[in-house]
Structure 1
Amino acid sequence: MAGENGVLIGYSDHPELLLLNRANRHGLVAGATGTGKTVTLQILAQGLSDAGVPVFAADVKGDLSGISQPGTPNEKFQARAAKMDLTLDPAAAPVIFWDLFGEQGHPIRATVSEMGPLLLSRMLELNDAQEGVLTVAFRVADEEGLLLLDLKDLQAALTFVGENAREIGARYGNVSPATVATIQRKLLVLEDQGGANMFGEPALALSDLMRVDGSGRGYVSMLAADRLIASPRLYATFLLWLMSELFEELPEVGDPDKPRLAFFFDEAHLLFRDAPKGLIEKIEQVVRLIRSKGVGVYFVTQNPADIPDTVLGQLGNRIQHALRAYTPADQRGLKAAADSFRPNPAFDTAEAIQALGVGEALVSVLDPKGAPTVVQKTLVRPPASRLGPILPGERAATMAASPVKGLYDQTKDRESAFELLKARAEQAADAKEEAEARAQADKEAAADAAVRERQARRTERLPSASRAPSRRNSNRQSMGEAFAKSMLRTIGNQVGRELIRGVLGGLQKSRR
């Protein structure tokens, strides 16, 4: 499927080749449902693999998994191969299956820190204010030395920001606890969609996407996306993250003889749908510059109009399957598709696009000088590998022989933001409990001291004679004592009067 210089796409009046030294200039595979886009993707992926180029592709419908098994050519394929004077030798490509949910392939993960606030905001559908608060949470986590590895780490960091909103807001602007709560609720929705499986460790090592086998063929890393595509933003954001990681991590290589990796982005319209301007600009930047890292990006979608012009203009290799124009919107898309090709004077491009049959395409690729060739009607070659999905047993056998078997199957949960903030909270709770206990003890001691002090002051105020315990004297007289004293006074008075009378009487007698 791959020659010395390029990958055979099919035949027009001559072989149509995707030149290896121009394959990093990106490409587009477009066409309506059922017109052969998946088969074309399979041909390109296997051809690049045969040429020693590792490939990453998302298997949205499960059909692409057949690339891992040798094909069984039917009569239709044999007739097409004979028409092209082509010998059809059944062959499979070396494949590594990946799955975000760990069911149909090896788990594939990223850390929250690697994903970053911009892509997470896109995934969570945050508005500008919410994105700002999420960015603050990432900044605070960096300052506090908190690793954000999985979603529970991010939840813990947001809780910390909400609890310290006044102090953090003084440094970074208003941080509303209500906004923090809104982000946390959206994280719960993401978890319900299976997003928790995306984040954690061990995170994907890019080198595992760039493997070659013992015979020099590039591995096709295939992401099982039939379940993932049910959450379109999750799917699109994850692939965009992966593309961004390649851009940021790989060194510059200029224009190599062949790409270091070919990246196929199926259902590419999901990447751009409702995307904010800042995200579109980031995608444009990545697509424009990643080619110098030796990576070719191929968007697979229904209509070229799904791709912004700023991105579409950078896709040099184009394969257009049939489009139907039943509505005004379809007609505009058809015109855009036709206008994106270098015209061929032999036919009207717009009419040709509508007349294409299954397995036919309009092809324009970059020539050795880097210029797009004149568009040609092309019969796409049949694949050497199997068409359609594989059986569960075949998938299991492929995974058992995988070069990354055991590397990602078990999650690791090292100390990160969740554990550190939990430990801080426990220490703060213990310190608070200890402080409250000390305060209570001090309060009780102060109360006891006050009681002792009052008792001491009362004792000091009493007379010294009365300090010893004794029976208290009373100035009051009992009834008996009062009667006796009265009798004594009466008797005394009588005796006294008698004595006086006696004395006076004696004196009187003597005078006589």
Structure 2
Amino acid sequence: MRSVLDLEAGSIFVGGCGHDRGTPEALLLRQANRHGLIAGATGTGKTVTLQTLAESLSLAGVPVFLADVKGDLGGMSHPGDPAGKLHGAFAARAEQIGMALDYQPMPVVFWDVWGESGHPVRTTPAEMGPLLLSRLLGLTSVQEGVLNIAFRVADEEGLPLLDLKDLQAMLLWVGQNASDLSLRYGNVSAASVGAIQRALLVLEGEGGDRLFGEPALALSDLMRCDASGRGVVNILSAERLMNAPRLYATFLLWLLSELFEQLPEIGDPDKPRMAFFFDEAHLLFSDAPKALIDKVERVARLIRSKGVSVWFISQSPTDIPDPVLSQLGNRVQHALRAFTARDQKALRDAAQNYRPNPEFDIAEAIQQVGTGEAVTSFLQAKGQPGIAQRTLIRPPLSRLGPISAQERAALMAQSGMGPRYDRGIDRDSAHEILARRTAEAAAAAAEAARDGAEDTGSEFRQARRYQPGSAKPASSRKASSRSDSIVETFGKSLARQLGTKGGQALVRGILGSLTRRR
């Protein structure tokens, strides 16, 4: 009986193909970082295929990150149940494809943006950057330009953007100093600043503010193996996150970008350094601007040399833009239903993405394969596409389906990530620094106003004390006038003006200048 993992051949057993399903279909670990696609209609077995591939990569010592959009991947943390209702079907399939059904759990860590079904996962606005934030907020190109200015000024002024209130405070400052900034960076309109602030309020109302803060997620905590050498399976709870699809897509793209930017080049390793599964991948590209699609294409093309394997899971290959689809050399195509002319075109397009097999028509096979069966093609040893095969996907070794809240809580308690991430911290950052500068400027202005009022009162009292014969000669008054310094004269004039509208405008000028200092 075949094991799931053949380390001597450096391959993963995916399933059985051929007329009797006794011929093994395998994924070479050396080619796994050429990325992959899992596609198929709802209910055709995509999630089980995702689970089996994640299991195999974990057993090979490859850390995995995946999103659980339906809440049924938590079972990977427990072994399959020999007494369960699915065991009979799984045992029959395992015997048919010649596989040893060795039930076992995977090392799992749960994550959740809201910190409810997993450890909190956070990033900062500074790490996400203006491009992804613009996508997250649905900004126009003009508004994106204003957001870029805010980030640029924050960097120049030494104002860390660590959470949502930092970004909101920074935008308020930009709006108050729009005229000065427009001369340096281009037009900054109050309307654009207001639109960004409204988008941030919407994001905050959706709970997106939970995503931003510290401690930020460290990639090293995702790329771990357990004591037995199995890669840790990091499961992002995405059931609630899917209610904000733009937040879901932007977060996963940020994570992929961080992997790309932080990991060093390693060429073609014997196995991936990490595997990344992007479920509901069509959300990433839905209404996405060209700049974002270009970024995804660039990351997909270059991140393989950093040892990262990326798998896109969606209903149809047409959900993935062609420049990105061309980077996906390993493919598992579950059944597609061709009910409409558009469906038929998508079916033909999907069939054309495979290397032909003279034994069957690929387009017909894609319509005919049953649940748990797929048309597969994996890259060969020299990188050439494999011939399309009708493959019966192997059964999972871990439990198929969700786990209870008590089981999840127990796993979170022993993961070791709680002390590091469960409690947030609020460092001194842009919001606090700007608030402090504003308070200092207001105090200085108030003190100047009091000094001016005292000086004015003193002069008035001196005038009331005038006695006949006490006036100094004109020559003496002229000398005294000449002895007043320019600074004293300006100070007295400033004090007299503080109570007027012009004085109030001057105070605002002082506040602006103080907040502009580093």
Q: C-alpha displacement at 1:80, in angstroms? A: 0.7
CA distance in 2, matches of 1:101, 1:459: 78
Distance 1:278 1:386 in 2: 41
Question: Structure 2: how far apart are the matches of 1:351 and 1:459?
Answer: 114
**1:409 and 2:422 are equivalent in the alignment:** yes
Q: Note if 1:8 corresponds to 2:13.
A: yes
Query: Paired residue for 1:486?
Result: none
* 2:345 is equivalent to residue 332 of structure 1: yes
Partner residue of 1:40 out of 30, 44, 49: 49
Q: 1:456 to 1:364 in 2, by over 3 A?
A: farther
SS of the residue 2:278 aligns to: strand
Structure 2: which amino acid aligns with 1:170? L
Q: How far has the Cα of 1:55 moved from its partner?
A: 0.3
Shift in Å, 1:452: 3.7
What is the aligned counterpart of 1:389 among 389, 402, 410?
402
RMSD of aligned residue pairs (Cα, Å)? 1.4
- Segments ≥4 residues shifted beyond 6 Å: 457-461
CA distance in 2, matches of 1:121, 1:412: 25
CA distance in 2, matches of 1:405, 1:198: 17
Equivalent residue, structure 1, for 2:267: 254
Q: 2:251 aligns with which of 238, 259, 266?
A: 238
Q: 1:366 maps to which residue?
A: 379
Q: Return closer, same or farther for 1:340/1:439 CA change in 2, 3 Å cut-off.
A: same
Q: Is the partner of 2:70 in helix, strand or coil?
A: coil
Q: Does 1:28 align with 2:37?
A: yes
Aligned-residue offset at 1:448: 2.4
Matched, 1:91 2:136: no
Letter in 1 for 2:455: D
Residue 152 of structure 1 aligns with which residue?
165
Secondary structure in structure 1 of the residue aligned to 2:111: strand
Q: Which residue of 1 aligns with 2:81?
A: 72
CA offset digits 1:189-224 (Å, max 9, x no partner): 001111111011100110011000000000000100
After TM superposition, give the deviation of residue 460 of structure 1 in Å: 9.8
Report the CA distance shift for 1:460/1:415 in structure 2 as closer, same or farther (over 3 A).
closer
Q: Unpaired runs of 5+ in structure 2? A: 474-518
1:405, distance to aligned residue in structure 2 (A): 2.8
Q: TM-score, normalised by structure 1?
A: 0.88
Amino acid at match of 2:5: A
Counterpart code for 1:18: L
Report deviation, 1:92.
0.9
Q: Which of 39, 47, 56 lines up with 2:65 in the alignment?
A: 56
Of 310-319 and 172-181, more deviation after overlay is shown by 172-181
The residue that corresponds to 1:480 in the other structure is none
Distance 1:328 1:457, change over 3 A: farther
Question: What does 1:306-317 correspond to in 2, within 5 Å?
Answer: 306-317=319-330
How many Å apart are 1:281 and its aligned residue? Answer: 0.4
Deviation of 1:449 after TM superposition, in Å, equals: 3.1
Counterpart of 1:394 in structure 2: which amino acid?
E
Mapped partners of 1:212, 1:404: distance in 2: 14
Secondary structure in 2 aligned to 1:77? helix
Amino acid at match of 1:319: V
Counterpart CA distance in 2 for 1:347 and 1:425 is 74
* Alignment map for 1:170-319 (pairs within 5 Å): 170-319=183-332
Q: Which residue of 2 aligns with 1:419?
A: 432
The whole-number CA distance in structure 1 between the counterparts of 2:472 and 2:224 is 96
| Rounded Cα–Cα distance in structure 1 between residues aligned with 2:102 and 2:208 | 41
Deviation digits for residues 160-202 of structure 1, max 9, x if unmatched? 1111111111100111122111111110100111111101110
Structure 1: which amino acid aligns with 2:148? T
1:487 corresponds to which residue? none
Deviates more, 1:56-65 or 1:433-442: 433-442
Distance in 1 of aligned mates of 2:468 and 2:338:
106
Q: Give the deviation of 1:262 after TM superposition.
A: 0.2
The reply on whether 1:112 has 2:121 as its aligned counterpart is no
> In 1, distance between residues paired with 2:319 and 2:468?
93
User: Is the aligned partner of 1:124 residue 2:137?
Assistant: yes
What's the offset of the Cα at 1:450? 3.4
Q: Secondary structure at the match of 1:63?
A: coil
The percent of aligned pairs where both chains have the same amino acid is: 62
2: CA distance between counterparts of 1:458 and 1:86?
Answer: 117
- Aligned residue pairs: how many? 460
Amino acid at match of 2:89: K
Match of 2:380, SS state, is coil
Q: CA deviation at 1:447?
A: 2.3
Are positions 1:350 and 2:363 aligned together?
Answer: yes
TM-score by length of structure 2 reads 0.87
Question: d(CA) in 2 for partners of 1:12 and 1:434?
Answer: 85
- Tell me which moved more, 343-352 or 209-218: 343-352
Q: Quote the offset at 1:352 in angstroms.
A: 0.9
Please tell me the residue identity of whatever aligns with 1:345. P
Map of 1:17 onto structure 2 = 26
> Which consecutive residues of structure 1, in runs of 5 or more, have no partner in the other structure?
462-512
